[in-house]
Amino acid sequence: MFTRSENFRTFLQLYPVVSVLVCIHILFWLLLQIPIPQLKILLGLLDGYNAGIANGEYWRLITPIFLHIGFGHLFFNSISLILFAPALERMLGKAKFILIYIVSGMVANIATYIIEPLQYSHIGASGAIFGILGVYLFIVVCRKGLIDQANSQIIISILVIGLIMTFFNSNINVVAHIFGMIGGFIFAPFVIRKRAQFSHQSFYSPNYSRTKFNLNFSPKHIIWILFIILILLGLIFRLS
């Protein structure tokens, strides 16, 4: 789940939704870098501005999911998608994966609207990504037959690190992180069948086999994964 062995073309074929989401992130970020006032104004209508939502601009509950402030913000969220989302897309299928991603992001943005002041504005896919982690948490807690103990520990470790680092920077939307995860956890039972299995498709073969969710990570792999996550978190804090 958290290590990728596919080449670029195979990744696009196996995980089309994740690939499209990352492309959308990059496209909107590039558009934000173009110094055209009219474009800035147009994109300004897409952020999560609470006063705008209060005035009926309800699209702002969805559109912030696809926008990012700086390169570090874009890089961290895109890498998080590439690492965490593919296994879930394979298990849920395209439609259910998109649904859980959008719903988690919307829950995060609705909670931000309710809790934060009217002048608060935010962008970023973090709420939706924490929703993905919330689905994994649901699997660990409520669908133990789908995952072994070692992989459960990896997911819990990543969640703990993510939640701890959430409170280390004033620029982070803490509400979105927490409620995105809660949203993913709550809506997971509606998209995960009790007998569901994670599927893995190797780029060495055109066929794939459905197997129990097993990452086959050694302690050394776990240490490296956590180390990389800490580096990425440090990078976004430095560049944001």
- CA-to-CA distance for 28 and 237, rounded, in angstroms? 21
210 DSSP β-pair partners: 199
Nearest in space to 120 (alpha carbons), one of 160, 184, 172: 172
The pLDDT of residue 229 is: 53
Catalytic residue among 68, 73, 177, 200: 177
- What's residue 18's pLDDT? 96
How far apart are the C-alpha atoms of 15 and 65, rounded to whole Å? 19
Q: pLDDT value at position 203?
A: 36
Respond yes or no: is residue 202 known to be catalytic: no
Predicted pLDDT of residue 145: 79
State residue 178's pLDDT score: 94
pLDDT of residue 235: 47
Confidence (pLDDT) at 151:
78
pLDDT per residue, tens digit, the chain (240 aa), is 566 677 888 999 999 999 999 999 999 999 888 888 888 888 889 999 999 999 999 999 999 999 998 888 899 899 989 988 998 999 899 999 999 999 999 999 999 999 999 999 999 999 999 999 999 999 999 988 787 787 788 888 888 888 888 877 667 899 999 999 999 999 999 998 765 554 444 333 334 444 344 444 444 445 455 555 555 555 444 444
Q: Please pick, among 19, 126, 152, 200, the residue that the annotation labels catalytic.
A: 126
pTM of the model: 0.79
Judge residue 47's burial from the number of C-beta atoms within 10 Å of its C-beta, 0-12 exposed, 13-18 middle, 19 or more buried: middle
Q: At what angle do helices 126-142 and 149-166 cross, to 10 degrees?
A: 140
Query: Is residue 126 flagged as an active site residue?
Result: yes
